[in-house]
Amino acid sequence: MMGKLLAAEFMKIKRKGIWFLTVLGPVGVVAMQMVNYGVRKDYLFGQNDDRWGYYLDNIHSFTPLAIVLGIVILTSFMSSIENETNAWKQLIALPVSKMSVYLSKFTVLMVLLLVSSVLLMLFTIAFGLFLDLGGEIPYSGLLKYSFYPFFAALPVLALQLWAATVSVNQGVPITMGILGVILTYAGFTLPDWLIWKWPLLLNEWNEPLINVLLGIGAGVLLYTAGMIDFARRDVK
């Protein structure tokens, strides 16, 4: 059942600009550094002898914002497929459980974000090589900066998917998302327990892996809570 639901979901997101946005996110994050390095390459090279590390830090200055905003946009898109035409009833009337419908939406979103993360890694390497940063390519750092934010952002994904599916008025989840991205933007001054801070990979122990584990744990919890609420709700 899950396979067919997933196939249906992937069918529904075709030609809606969703794949385009999935590619645009990582392109945008790297393009921002293309502009940054294009304008003041010599200055940035002089900032730090570890040019690869400094370059990755620069890339990472936009990744969390892009990932949180990307989540807001994609979750709203995913639920607007049914919301716009009041198709929730039709979807739920099929011989599928509500939980598996919710799971299929979440899975599609995770796949989209993972594709984004892979692309981010590839574009980061490509532009890094183009810049001729010298020395070894720091593969472990590259993997860390490309995939850790995705795992750390899972709670935000679970929360936004729930908000977008249960809200008739999409202005509500999007405004929530704006609040969230501002918390990410100002995250370095905020306490560690805020889920929007986690994609920044900052914490008081200076260990990004904690954010990944917290992200997966809290993500599963929030996802389960959202799914149970969705399953108990009336379909309007």
Helix ranges restricted to H, the chain: 2-12, 18-47, 51-60, 63-83, 88-93, 98-131, 139-152, 154-166, 171-185, 208-232
Q: Report the distance separating Cα 13 and Cα 22, nearest Å.
A: 12
Interface of this chain with another protein, residues 35 to 54, rule: CB under 8 A: 35-36, 39
Tell me the window of 97-105, 145-153, 182-190, 223-231 that interacts with another protein (CB under 8 A): 182-190
Q: Closer CB to another protein, residue 74 or residue 212?
A: 74
Q: How many CB atoms lie within 10 A of CB 10?
A: 16
Kindly state whether residue 21 participates in binding another protein, applying the rule CB under 8 A.
yes
Nearest to 79 by CA among 179, 175, 161: 161
For residue 217, the minimal CB distance to another protein (Å) is: 27
Tell me the window of 77-85, 203-211, 216-224, 226-234 that interacts with another protein (CB under 8 A): 77-85
Q: Which of 55, 77, 148, 162 binds another protein (CB under 8 A)?
A: 77
Question: What is the 8-class DSSP label of residue 49?
Answer: S
Q: Which of 6, 8, 44, 69 binds another protein (CB under 8 A)?
A: 69
Kindly state whether residue 169 participates in binding another protein, applying the rule CB under 8 A.
yes
The one-letter code for the residue type at 57 is D
Kindly state whether residue 193 participates in binding another protein, applying the rule CB under 8 A.
no
For residue 181, the minimal CB distance to another protein (Å) is: 6
Kindly state whether residue 115 participates in binding another protein, applying the rule CB under 8 A.
no
Output the DSSP codes for 149-181.
HHHHTHHHHHHHHHHHHH-SSTHHHHHHHHHHH
Kindly state whether residue 14 participates in binding another protein, applying the rule CB under 8 A.
no
Is residue 42 within 8 Å of residue 51, measured between CB atoms? no
Kindly state whether residue 84 participates in binding another protein, applying the rule CB under 8 A.
yes
